[in-house]
Structures are given as structure tokens and as C-alpha cells.
A and B are shown apart, each in its own frame.
Chain A
């Protein structure tokens, strides 16, 4: 099996609505056989003569071996590109590039894992759950959303997880609580050794912080950030960068698509997202005194 992604014309199998989201299944054997949990696909939208040049980067929900290999993506309709995807029908063609990005790192030993998801991004955790279970790990889920319609996969989580906690802001499903309230409790109850996260940036930030408070490593997939900022998905456009604290102590602007989407939660500088921190490598330097003097003289 090769590590290199493929570009392929996939055939759409189904598009169905799941709560507030859509799930798109397409036949793409080349992508399915290479896929590892945490990776994503980049979809061209608008058909052959499209005027939309940006690829939509979506987490993969699951891959199956039916029809030679299928991939399923779950997404929210946020803009015309995802609306076009939601309007696809069976047998339509879809240009797919994938699987892309670095997958979730897996624990060597059978340890307890807590998987935290929110929004359509929660879909990115289920392939991981499968793999972890096959390795003998305990799998606990926490799924969060504003309402019940914005919680993806709660039933599946209950079925395959050793435990599953659902929190909604309005209490329409599971507990009425925020993730910040529920996560420390679940982390304590399950005694998990590692935390995985996938979904909205604000959720990942909470996950990373609470995991750090408990001294537990966290691996988060910046799926939503990539979807909002990425243009190519393969690492050439340099638009999806975020500040990341490297092993050598230097902050670099790393690409969410190529160095991510799975990153160490404690290394992402969440508070500085959308900025270039002054201490990042290659950050705009403060004017030197000499420059200032020259400016004043002019």
C-alpha cells in the first residue's frame, strides 16, 4: 500500500441528510484503500466547467470495501460549494483527491482513549474508534453540539463505544451542559490515557486545554479550520497556516493540510490563531532603531 494520495473521478453512491448535516458516499477505491483514520479528502465542486477553484477539504467518516471501496464524508452546508455537494445524486461524478494529511497517531499499548467530537467534524472520529478497538483500546466518546440536530453519530457512539456522553447547549439530547463542564468529569470517570478531538476550533481548544490540565496527551484534527482556510488540500497554496510550537521550541506557521490536520493539541497556539505571533519564525520584525531614525529623517 502506498502513502501517496491519488486524484480520481469518483462515482457518487448516495447523499443523505443526517440531522443538520449531509453524508456523501462515493466509490473511490484508490482513496479507500490508502485511507488511515484522521486523513481527509479534497473535493472539487461545481462540475467540469466550474468557476469555483477552491477544493473543499472534508474529514472522512468511514471507508468500506463495498463496490471496490467507498468513502463517506459528512459536512454542513455553509456556502455554495457544500450546497453543490449536497445536491449531488447517485451516479454523478466527483473529482476527489485523497487521502491527504497526517493521520491520528495510535497508542502502542491498549490504553483508554477519549474521543471528543463536535459538529460534522465528529464524523472524523469513527474510523479512529474502529482502529483503536481493534488494537484492544477502550474507546469513550464525548459528542457536543448546540442542539440534537447538530450532534452527529450519537447512536453509533453508544453502540461501539465503551461509554458515550452527549452534551447539548439546549438539552435536546443528552445532558444540558457545555463541553467545558462535562469533559473534566468524563476524563476523570473514564481514566483515559489519551484524548482525541475533531471538529470546531473552539471545541479543540477546550479539549487541548483540559487534556493539558489533566496531564494527558491530546491529538486534535483541525478539520473545521482547514475547511475554512484551505484552498488546495495538498500543501501548495499555503493558505491554511496556523502557529505551531515545534520540538525545538520555535513557533512556525504550519500548514493544516500537510503538517496536519492532526496536530498535538498542546502545541497549537490556539490564542494566536489568525495571527502571526511576534516570536514565530519569519514574523514581521519590529523596525530597528536605525530604520526608525531613517524614517524620521525622511
Chain B
């Protein structure tokens, strides 16, 4: 699978990318798309969402993962886990309801089989961790310390806390903070906390996580939902309720990103939830996200990552913005003109989109 790197935004990349032929990314992607998550610098803001990219090998058949900002793994747990019985998935309007039960091979197999492959492919990898207890999170982070190829750790706090009757860590600021603290204490790479949206006040949880040492936040995980099969007259999922994802949750996700960015303007946010096009990604960026992860859309369109990346770059070019300038722009008052707007006119015919 070798595909010619697309020559997009020609004017920009010709001027800038020429210098560093050694860096594979820089001649493909203009500086327009660079972003930061704490200490982690990424050539572009498009990531895969945890649990939606498999081991990476499956998606690599359709898209070049090293061209994405980063690949976020499926949540890794201490032990191999079979997950829930089928049916695990039901299609809902513009969404997907899933009750997977965090299936995975466990950290041993992950470190032996999956991570080395991703590293070999030159994929920047953010490892998602999930644990049954706070100690387990800490132990998992310790296992990752010093392992080559781990760009950052994403803490999946939306998993059941065995010590709290199976209620999610993410539902309580103290429980979320305890998990983040345990991972932070055992890790030298940036720690990102992924929060669940169905809480009374997501800002409180976000503040607690940042106080506990989270370098960035991922917003949002799936929302709890339910569907009932009208033929069998029973819940459609074996797990009864499940997590809703896809474009159906996008407005909720954008709201969460906006609220948290307003409260914590210096904390980088990864926006997730129903991103299917470059303009969807831009919506998250304007709300305050420094990066955007593509999730359920990958099930529908395995090459969506690189397509959305291209579309987002076009959309930014059409608006004469760099990504860094666009982050949180929706928070500015009406009529505000971002100071960094480039003086150069876009080359005619370069941008696909015609702005009014």
C-alpha cells in the first residue's frame, strides 16, 4: 500500500516543506496543521479514537496511519479480556450503540505484539489504559514507563470501578482524579484523561483531573443509551445498555469541549464525537479542541482519517487560518478578527470550498 502523498495546499508546502527532506511528515503536511498536547508535538491534529482503530493493522490496509497526528489504541487492561457476549452493537439514528465490555488481549500481548508493530510503522501511538481499580491504572502506567513508541497515555476513566460497585470512575471528580494521579505518578509521558459526558457537570470533573496532573483532556467518551428490539421485545444489546457514539452525539461533544475550554483555556483538549468530515473537525477546533479524534466513522469509512485531515486542511486554508489560531475561536466575541490571519490570498482553485 504505497500511495503518492497528496500535494495539497501547494503554495504553503512548497515554501515550507522543502527544507527538511529527512522529516517524512514535514514535506507532506504544512505547518498550518501543527498542534501540541502538553509536551507532545504532533504534525497534525487528526487522531483515531480509542477502540475504533483495532490494533492498527486493520486500518493500515486502507490508510497510512503514520500520516495521522497519532493513533490512539483500544483501551489496554492488565489481563486478557473477552468482553461482553453478542449482540454487542445496534445501529441507531446517525449513531451506534455498543456494549463491548472492553475486550482486549491484555498488556503483555499488547507490548509484545501490537505496540512494536505500530512503532515499526512510524505511527505516533497514544496508549489508552483502563483498569478495574486505581492501583491497576498505576501498575499499567508503570509497565509503559520507558517503553519505546509510547507518545502519551490516555486514561479511560469511563470504565467500571470494581471497588465502587462497578460505577464509573468518570462519574465522580474524586475517583477520576485518583486515577489520573496514579497514572501521572508512574509516567513520564503526557497523560490525557478521557471523560464521559453523562455527568452533572463535566467542568468539575475536568478541573479535578487537571489538578491531579492531567496534561490534556479527551472529550467525550460514549454516552449511555439503550435500544429495545421490537421483534424480540427485549433489550437489543446483551449488555442491556451501551455507549452511544457517532454523529448523533456530536452536539453534546461540542458543548462539552466548549464548556471545558472556557473554564480551562490553557489545557489542550482532544475533541471526539461523531466527526465524519473536515468541517465537523473544524467545529471541534473552534469550540476549543487542539486535536480531533475520529471514532465510529472509521467503522463506516476505514480511510476517513486521512480524508478528514485533507478536508480540515482545506477548510483552514479557505478561512486563511492556522490550526493554532483557530483553536477556541468560537469563544471570541462576534466580529473578532484573529490576529494571525495570513496576508496571502489562497491560490485560486486551491481550495475546494467557496465561502460566502
Contacts and interface: CB of A to CB of B under 8 A. Distances in A.
Contacts of B100: 238-239
Contacts of B62: 5, 7, 97, 234
Interface stretch (A125-133, A178-186, A189-197, A273-281): A273-281
Contact of A232 (B86, B91, B103, B302): B302
B155 interface: no
Given A239-B98, A276-B84, A55 B58 contact: no
Contact residues on A (Cβ < 8 Å of other chain), bracket: 35 or more
Nearest to A81: B91
B293 to A, nearest CB: 14
B83, B84, B85, B86, most chain A CB atoms within 10 A: B86
Nearest to B99: A239
B95 to A, nearest CB: 7
B299 A237 contact: yes
Q: Name the residue in A53, A235, A240, A252 with the highest tally of chain B Cβ atoms < 10 Å from its Cβ.
A: A53
A298 to B, nearest CB: 9
A236 interface: yes
B298 interface: yes
A283 B53 CA distance: 23
Contacts of B256: none
Given A54-B91, A282-B106, A275 B85 contact: yes
A53 B58 contact: no
A53 B54 CA distance: 17
B300 interface: yes
B16 interface: no
B238 A274 contact: yes
Given A4-B1, A55-B299, A236 B88 contact: no
Contacts of A273: 86
Q: Is the interface of B mostly helix, strand, loop or mixed?
A: loop
A139 interface: no
Interface stretch (B74-82, B167-175, B348-356): B74-82
Interface residues of B, number: 41
A5 to B, nearest CB: 6
Contact of A253 (B52, B54, B103, B303): B103
A280 B88 contact: no
B85 A53 contact: no
A242 B103 CA distance: 13
Contacts of B1: 4
Contacts of A5: 61-62
20 contacts: A44-B300, A51-B94, A53-B96, A53-B297, A53-B300, A54-B91, A54-B96, A55-B299, A81-B91, A229-B86, A239-B88, A239-B89, A241-B88, A241-B103, A252-B82, A274-B87, A274-B238, A282-B81, A282-B82, A282-B104
Going nearest first, the 7 A-B pairs with the smallest beta carbon separation are A236-B54, A282-B80, A282-B82, A239-B89, A232-B299, A51-B94, A235-B58
Given A55-B299, A229-B88, A238-B54, 17 more contacts: A4-B1, A7-B302, A44-B301, A97-B302, A229-B86, A229-B89, A232-B300, A234-B59, A234-B302, A236-B299, A238-B100, A239-B87, A239-B88, A239-B100, A241-B86, A273-B86, A281-B82
